[in-house]
Structure 1
């Protein structure tokens, strides 16, 4: 532990103490003003009920602690000329961050209406958590933020993501003690095992223990100090403690502790020895709602859960609450902090950094300012040979791994690309990347280990939460990356990607926010080839989750083969401000398109495959559509059966690689007009659609289309087990034989003329079932099938 405050010399001179305290009081005043006031910002006249907002929204409890930390970090930045970011774990402390960025001038720069004067202060107060204003949480509107405060748990992962490959950056991350109870945050403490002192920046965790959540005590605040210290040291940190509630003592203690911590950081950074260091962190223990009302209506508020949101909830209704608010605001002595025009006085701003050193103006927190385009190989240079459709095969993700290897090589100088995944890079057959870079690992390395290195650019940890958080932090600070995951288990980050999508959607509408690289998912080991792992590994529902989100942000791609996967990957890695979901298989599968055809197909997003269609010169009797690699194979196998048994039938094959093309162009930027859709799918012919995921998503995307009544979708129906690859398709009625049955059932006249064919298909399905039970593998005619049409 640190040396007790009483035995240290004072870290702050009397002048510095007055300055840092003035900055803290000013931020506290502005924070309270945002929660309560819509007029009379400087209290130039007596406070009246009409000066108070009709709806009181916001969170006071964590804000004074955030203001305290911000003021002291400002002092340190000025004294040591540091490049520092601020990540706010208790994101519901939005008014605190707005207060500090207003004081430092970064907020008025992006929101000129909130100028550094009385009128600007009134605007700041009025627009906080107000219709037409800014949210109550830390949000994209707040300069210096990369972290959406609407949900807790992601701050530390984001901070480490920001620090990777930023050797001169210090990321100060305040972790709330409520947030520390979440799964993502608990895992994030282990990120220090991946931070290279020579290559990466520094993360300074500041665990803020104010004791309470919304209505309950917090775990880390109620365990013994010894147990807490053992826990944090067990995570590999060197904790320093700042505890108390008396302002002058706390200022001196915090300043001295930060000086010690910075000295430790510099010793680590200046003397990297190849061993994992024990990075310092700070545990700050203050009362919840510090400096706010001690009691309200006879109940203790300060230091309790009652301070979490709005301590005085009925100011307009109860005169004694109004008087208490007036006394609370005046306790910060605003006349000492702001001049008659409303501008902060020099004592308040003396220890605030200037220019890009301000945490609200740090360019890393507006990562698009720093973003350098990736140098990307030509997908055609890695394409597999396809002399004719279906005559060659490949493992799509293995070929993609070779492409990504070159991405690493081409961008080695900038070190601005990383691959993230939960222990699955080799399993997902991307292991060619290890020829260019290893797996980042700062803990012990043993002889049996493969590809572990102190300087690796592949990050693997068995926590989808941590991979997601790292990647978000990496992207939001101006770099590029890819998250590879088993399809079924990417659901773990549903809530995280939801927050990121919201962040991107809002950011796109903020002029000063620059576009960042897209968040790219590669989902493989997918539902149709998890036959060996069984039901627990079979779930394509992440697509549904993402498809529900903002259309201007979300893209979903289902490449049917290797070369289309390469084309899609290149497009996604070039894109900005999107969440791209790419679902592709890793097992050996047919190649349908050569490099040029694949690029054109991806540009279209959906197209007729005339080479696979039957009698393409005629108007089709039926449309067989497909989206996904397994559905494409089954549709083409169904075509060969139809050619054999019903040779006069005109069949149109439509493949969809960009799923959002199915939506109307009024609903999604990639959507098709009704004319385009009708040209592909017809207006009056049966459509049998084999789809990778849950069938009802296709219906939802296409429900407004002219021919939706003739659309019949086959896909995953939550029927799974450990079985053969083809049996997964039979169990879910997406097999080639069922597709032929569907054609017979839906094309007028065939149910009468093709009854024997229908019966043959049904019998083959039953023969398949008996065969696999006896032999443990698929029928020879399935295993040996190849495209011959």
Structure 2
């Protein structure tokens, strides 16, 4: 196989290529100006120290290559009338992305203050990486971007997420060779095994090998073409090479290669759509671009190599103010682009170059696909009442909460099958997480060979399973950002794998709330199941509830945390989350058979309030305050709290107990800290202003203290939760190891309620004895004592009925 450089077509219009080279120079000029200048944007006077920013921030090395790709994609868009969006993977290539959006006119349309003239150019330069300005990467503020420059490793998976169910879109994704060294990016190449050419768009990966990262060579940059070609053929791609440094030769080669790649994409899709059946998995094209790092920049600075070396990575001329030699070098560099040939006297791009940009929404910076809220259509949702568990008495029914959720999601998939705007993502755990009801109406999408004995695999599936949390998260983010909806289910302990991806998406949403031109997108919804309290069989490695602590750090406008205690509350929460937008919703719910506490009517009321008193569970009289509040958040903590209440009511019948359940964890925060937060008045009416609160919480105890530390009664809130104690053991023993079990909770009440010490001494001793008995029993029998495993709520709905 020859490289595209060797096959460069001689039929490409040389006049157009010359114009494209000038356009490329204009983008490079604007990129350098953003890094360095705050005045004199057109260099109409000799450059002075005061024209240069005092702090030089930005990344030049990758930028000329990004600009080169951009102008060639523009030619393809105009020639073929195709919809393309550009995902900029190389970290901080922001100068190029911003430059091209300004050249296309989109930037000034969105930000009229940055006009298409010399004054607008000056503002464009000054704002970049400047206090009160814009970031140095392709951030939410950048028109056409759906990928934050700080998300190193996730560009390609975002691209595929954008292409799923987007049949007319081509997603051009530039992958930097430093980024290509990351684990998530390495796995992302396999996304081609999930792309259906009948219904999906296409992804054109462009691997930009410029040889260096911050201070070292890159692995792929030093590999031979033969090795690189073999690697990507093995991944299932058809690699097309463009290599060199001479602009004229490279323009001809890139134009020919772009045409070859788009011809191949069109051929694959036309064949598949003509037959309305996906053929054997196609071999999609990709481009491998080898160009110098810092291309067209200074060759040397102070006698040290810069272009085509790692010193070009950030700011090639590091000190300009106060250094006359560096000032002259910068001016010479910028004048090498011949700005008088690119911009007229007013600073506007000259007409013949303006004509090279696509028009209207065909501009990559103005594509509605990069502003997904413009395209978003609300989901058609089933009536969750149809899936309600019949609960005639608290604890009187047993069900798997996530199985009910799976049946609800089955109906969501059916109702939106024609719109093709909902997918369920998960790392090979849909059935394990009891969501397998969805397989009544769909399959797992699979473009590889399917054997006759395979189960629930098809090219038309709506469920996406791959054993990579990175891919599930990235696919879903790209899917949401381009206007669709979805859910991500995962084992609770392993969701930590995507901590940084969650962080970046949360930051993206936070910024977009202040950008009125960015329309709201569907929320990112997580189901965390197979959770810490029922990972007794897998052991300590699978026991970690800490993801919610990370989530709680984010802005209140963005995040929500839900701990539904049973199936009916889970159904309400699921329905609610699918109706929200511009949020990240985290639902933590168990999948094992468990007691069901609330009717659907009760569940609706309880969930709408977020936190509430369960009158049927306590025994406090209407005309008096309780002696203690027993609070709980999470399904197992709720079970153990109610079992502890049973123990106390039998042992200490005069003790007045109030039971409070929390579904929406953020309701614990003050109302001025979170939209769902309780007022101090409401908080005290529920938790009392001065009574002991024994709080059984699903995760690490300190989060409850963080959320409530400003409350007047915080000193009396005593939280039991995960203490980082775990092993392979029985379900109840997990609770005992972390002192969240019924006996420890009952003992905590005795220790905390004034005056109970002497009266309850015998009861406390019995509870301690039961803990010893439990320990002996599980180590002898390997299962929990029958009185634990078979316990049920004995009081019905009457608060004081024994």
**TM-score bracket for the superposition, by shorter chain length:** over 0.9
1:380 alignment counterpart: 385
1:537 to 535, 542, 545: 542
Q: How many Å apart are 1:91 and its aligned residue?
A: 3.3
SS state of the match for residue 510, structure 2? helix
- C-alpha deviation, 1:676, in angstroms: 1.1
In 2, the alpha carbon distance for the partners of 1:309 and 1:360 equals 24
Counterpart in the other structure of 2:441: 436
* Partner SS state of residue 520, structure 1: strand
Q: Are the aligned partners of 2:167 and 2:198 in contact in 1 as well (CA < 8 Å)? A: yes
1:560 to 2:565 alignment: yes
Q: Describe how 1:690-769 pairs up with structure 2 within 5 A.
A: 690-769=696-775
Indicate the residue corresponding to 2:161 in structure 1.
Answer: 161
Contact 1:11 1:252 in 2 (8 A): no
CA distance in 2 between partners of 1:434 and 1:4 (Å): 45
Match of 2:629 in 1: 623
Q: Which residue of 1 aligns with 2:70?
A: 70
Which consecutive residues of structure 2, in runs of 5 or more, have no partner in the other structure? 273-277, 796-802
Deviation, 1:317, is 1.8
Give the distance between the partners of 1:714 and 1:262, measured in 2 at CA: 59
Partner of residue 325, structure 1: 330
Q: Which residue of 1 aligns with 2:685?
A: 679
| 1:213 match | 213
The SS at the match of 1:271 is helix
* CA offset digits 1:489-544 (Å, max 9, x no partner): 00000000000000000001101000000000000000000011111110000011
Verify the 8 A CA contact 2:213 2:313 in the aligned structure 1.
Answer: yes
CA displacement 1:380-435 (0-9 Å, x = unmatched) = 11101011211111000011100000000111111000000000000001001011
| C-alpha contact (below 8 Å) 1:337/1:347 kept by paired residues | no
- Residue-by-residue CA offset, 1:51-105 (whole Å, 9 max, x unaligned): 0011100000000000000000000100000110100001300010000000001
| Pairwise CA distance, 1:4 | 5.2
5+ residue gaps in structure 1? none
Residues 380, 596 of structure 1: 8 Å contact kept = no
Deviations 1:3-57 (A, max 9, x none): 5545543243122011111110000000000000101101111110000011100
Partner in structure 1 of residue 780 of structure 2: 774
SS in 1 for 2:616: helix
1:209-254 CA-to-partner distances (Å, cap 9, x unmatched) read 0000000110001112111111010000000000000000000000
In 1, the alpha carbon distance for the partners of 2:226 and 2:370 equals 36
Give how far 1:2 is off: 4.2
Matches within 5 A, 1:315-714: 315-617=320-622, 618-714=624-720
Residues 344 and 616 (structure 1 numbering): CA distance in 2 closer, same or farther, change over 3 Å?
Answer: farther
Distance 2:215 2:4 in 1: 32
Q: 2:799: which partner in 1?
A: none
Number of matched residues?
789
- The 2-side partners of 1:769 and 1:546 are apart by 35
**Bigger shift: 11-20 or 391-400?**
11-20
Residue 667 of structure 1: how far off its partner (Å) = 1.3
**Deviations 1:748-775, CA, capped at 9 Å, x for gaps:** 1111111000000000010001011111
Superposition misfits of 4+ residues, deviation over 3 angstroms: 1-9
Does 2:287 match 1:282?
A: yes
For 1:422 and 1:73, the matched residues in 2 are separated by: 34
**Alignment partners' CA distance in 2, 1:745 and 1:301:** 70
CA contact (8 A) 2:8 2:257 kept: no
Deviation, structure 1 residue 171: 0.1
- SS of residue in 1 equivalent to 2:371: helix
1:190 equivalent in structure 2: 190
Residue aligning to 2:33 = 33
Among 308, 311, 317, the residue aligned to 1:306: 311
| Matched position secondary structure for 1:252 | helix
- Aligned counterparts of 2:431 and 2:711: Cα–Cα separation in 1: 42
| Cα separation, 1, equivalents of 2:381 and 2:513 | 25
Instruction: Provide Cα deviations, 1:546-596, integer angstroms capped at 9, x if missing partner.
Output: 111122101100000000000000010000000100000000111111111
Task: Specify the alignment match of 1:146 in structure 2.
Answer: 146
Please, what TM-score do these two structures have when normalized by structure 2?
0.98
- Secondary structure of the residue that 2:620 maps to in structure 1? coil
Q: TM (normalized to structure 1)?
A: 0.99
Segment drifting more, 83-92 vs 483-492: 83-92
Residues 174-211 of structure 1: per-residue CA shift (max 9 Å, x gap): 00000000111000000000000111000000000000
Task: Decide whether the 8 Å contact of 1:26 with 1:348 is kept in 2.
Answer: no
Query: Paired residue for 1:56?
Result: 56
Instruction: Determine the structure 1 residue equivalent to 2:275.
Output: none
The RMSD of aligned alpha carbons is 0.9
